[in-house]
Structure 1
Amino acid sequence: MTATMRAVVLREPGPVENLTIEELPVPEPPPGWVRIKVRAFGLNRSELHTRLGLAEGVTFPRVPGIECVGTVDADPSGELVPGQQVAAILGGMGRTFDGGYAEYTVVPRTQIIPFRSDLPWEVLGAVPETLQTAYGSLTVGLDLRAGQSLLIRGGTSALGVVTAVLAKQMGATVLATTRREDRTAALAEIGVDHPIVDTGTVAEQVRRIVPEGVDAALELVGTPTLPDTLAATRVHGTVCFAGMLSNQWIVRDFYPIGYIPTGVRLTGYSGTSGNLPPEVLQDYLDKLADGRIEVPAPTVYALDDIRRAHADMESDQVIGKIVILPISGQR
């Protein structure tokens, strides 16, 4: 194999111009690690936070990227066969060690999730981290049940879209917000029962639909909208904080009794690769392949367009997931 690879390097936080494509040595996997030939990777707000200098515990220079999909290229343990399709997520990827924004990456064996699928790489690249967070938020964070109502604050984000699709599969009534009137149709197309235009406050609109308040709510915008999301939730309902589209996640001078409405439960969710069981990933991919699950196609960029892709993510130009194909001409 070649001795070098192309990778996106962030040498210090800053604007998109700080993302540079460089030739780096192909990394060697130490014992307990696996080298992956990266075929696609999704963009995440976490990487935007890293680029802007908002993420904690990041060392530089760094190849960003908290997820990727590809094939096993080398496994010193011999547990994984070369060519096996795998996903890798989280666990320090792109923060404390180099991540998925490259043609090759090495990750701990414990962070790898094997799968088998004939779906295109750009479709596969949109799945792992988003599915992990959506599935974990609904099951661990909210304990959502069939017949319940769910509010998704930030519905046209990649995470909001997948959460809505999964919640409908679980038998929930879904309300989801967007700040743009022209995106309500896109929410309806993925099965959202009640698209809501978010003007900054939505609790009154929600309670016109569900007078007692929703059973569950997923907060993906951040702390600016969290009080209003809490106000849209019924007594003994649950709000799960799992996203920060606003880049704001700290509640200043937090006084729980004054902040959280009486009887409403506030939880959080931040998972790991262990929160996405292989059978859950495989089932989701199988349903995507045969049409039982339908989500908007990802917006795809080449590695050379990483700056434009990051800018589009930062300015919310895209509905759903942005995916990068690091190897030129692949599909």
Structure 2
Amino acid sequence: MRAVVLTEPGPVDNLELRDLPVPAPRPGWVRIAVRAFGLNRSELHLRLGFAEGAVPYPIVPGIEAVGVVDAAPHSDLEPGQQVAAMMGGMGRAFDGGYAEYTLVPREQVVPFRSDLPWAVLGAVPETLQTAYGSLTTGLDLRAGQTLLIRGGTSALGYATAALARDLGATVLATTRRRDRLDTLADHGVDHPILDDGAVAGQVRKIVPEGVDAALELVGTPTLPDTLAAARVHGTVCFAGMLSNEWTVPNFYPIGYLPTGVRLTAYGGEARDLPAPVLQRYLDRLAAGTFHLGPTHTYGLAEIRDAHRAMEENTVSGKLVGLTG
């Protein structure tokens, strides 16, 4: 099989397209013939050397993939069945989704049925899982509330905006690029905001008491300002690190957190995206009643270009790799 291998942390040249043996089936695991895979900041962090824990380099990156079951011994899944796989050590503890085949534990596999193109399906699993979990578990967002998304033109930003609007919330979302404000509006954001590093004042001109909820996708550099945009008893959920910064030195909660503002975090697994939820949104995507934002596709041989685009933030939305 063809697979992209990261030889060691470093520049994009460390991503190599190689011929590898197809992984052998094993009980309790599912071998998937990969058709597409989403690219995520997690893989950028891996390549840049930010991954926590021991990584067995060389490794096939990729925390998610979609395709069809190729082999699933002693499993409830059948060959040919459409599935998504994500998280749980993919691309970190063992080889991940940047390949024509991947082998993952059964508990990380979510079955579905869809006639959507693989390029569309590849953009969905991890992005939908994180957006859905952030709004439900991280923020408990309700209809009629206001939501600020810090990092709105990321794939996760677009997906969260779509889910929040679907729920009946009013959405504010930020971008650092003026030319992307219209794109946010075109994708359902009620109040696009140009992020100059301090948006709390702009938010409070729209929602004077502060937003009910905020999703922090940029990282710790903007987190204090995002917290300042939330109302008393509002909630900020930390779920992304577009800035590649995720720690707060010398954290003193009383001095850091505005009085009465709640700070949560979200990082989910495959089990946090129930199969009925995935199927419901795939059906709505197919019907044209739901959209997750723009996508950009790359072949396996173009994976370095994809990583450059992700690292340099030259594209807006989700990057998807195709194996065929």
Bin the TM-score by the shorter chain.
over 0.9
DSSP-derived class of the 2:20 partner: strand
State how 1:269-288 maps to structure 2 within 5 Å. 269-288=266-285
- Larger mean Cα displacement after TM superposition, 312-321 or 62-71: 312-321
Query: What residue ranges of structure 2 are gaps of 5+ in the alignment?
Result: none
Equivalent residue, structure 1, for 2:8: 12
DSSP-derived class of the 1:131 partner: helix
State how 1:159-198 maps to structure 2 within 5 Å. 159-198=156-195
1:199 aligns with 2:175: no
Equivalent residue, structure 2, for 1:51: 47
TM-aligned CA deviation for residue 78 of structure 1: 4.4
> 2: CA distance between counterparts of 1:92 and 1:296?
27
State how 1:213-232 maps to structure 2 within 5 Å. 213-232=210-229
DSSP-derived class of the 2:51 partner: coil
The one of 82, 87, 95 aligned to 1:85: 82
> 1: CA distance between counterparts of 2:100 and 2:313?
26
Query: What residue ranges of structure 1 are gaps of 5+ in the alignment?
Result: none
Equivalent residue, structure 2, for 1:290: 287
Equivalent residue, structure 1, for 2:312: 315
> 1: CA distance between counterparts of 2:67 and 2:288?
23
Number of corresponding residues: 323
> 1: CA distance between counterparts of 2:126 and 2:80?
21
Q: Deviations 1:195-234 (Å, cap 9, x if unpaired)?
A: 0000001000000000000000000000000000000000
Equivalent residue, structure 1, for 2:263: 266
1:253 aligns with 2:258: no
DSSP-derived class of the 1:82 partner: coil
Equivalent residue, structure 2, for 1:39: 35
TM-aligned CA deviation for residue 31 of structure 1: 1.0
Q: Deviations 1:73-102 (Å, cap 9, x if unpaired)?
A: 001114211110000000000000000000
Equivalent residue, structure 2, for 1:208: 205
DSSP-derived class of the 1:174 partner: strand
1:123–1:297 Cα contact (<8 Å) kept: no
DSSP-derived class of the 1:216 partner: strand
Structure 1 counterpart of 2:116, one-letter code: L
Q: Deviations 1:280-316 (Å, cap 9, x if unpaired)?
A: 0000100000011023341011110000000001111
Equivalent residue, structure 1, for 2:237: 240
The one of 95, 98, 109 aligned to 2:95: 98
Equivalent residue, structure 2, for 1:137: 134
> 1: CA distance between counterparts of 2:51 and 2:75?
35
DSSP-derived class of the 2:103 partner: strand
> 2: CA distance between counterparts of 1:253 and 1:49?
23
Structure 1 counterpart of 2:25, one-letter code: P
> 1: CA distance between counterparts of 2:243 and 2:51?
14
DSSP-derived class of the 1:25 partner: coil
DSSP-derived class of the 1:217 partner: strand
TM-aligned CA deviation for residue 61 of structure 1: 1.1
Equivalent residue, structure 2, for 1:148: 145
DSSP-derived class of the 2:148 partner: strand
1:62–1:98 Cα contact (<8 Å) kept: yes
TM-aligned CA deviation for residue 161 of structure 1: 0.3
Q: Deviations 1:4-48 (Å, cap 9, x if unpaired)?
A: x00000111001000001110000121100100000001000000
Aligned Cα root-mean-square deviation (Å): 0.7
Structure 1 pair 78/269, CA: closer, same or farther in 2 (3 Å)? closer
Equivalent residue, structure 2, for 1:23: 19
> 2: CA distance between counterparts of 1:212 and 1:296?
30
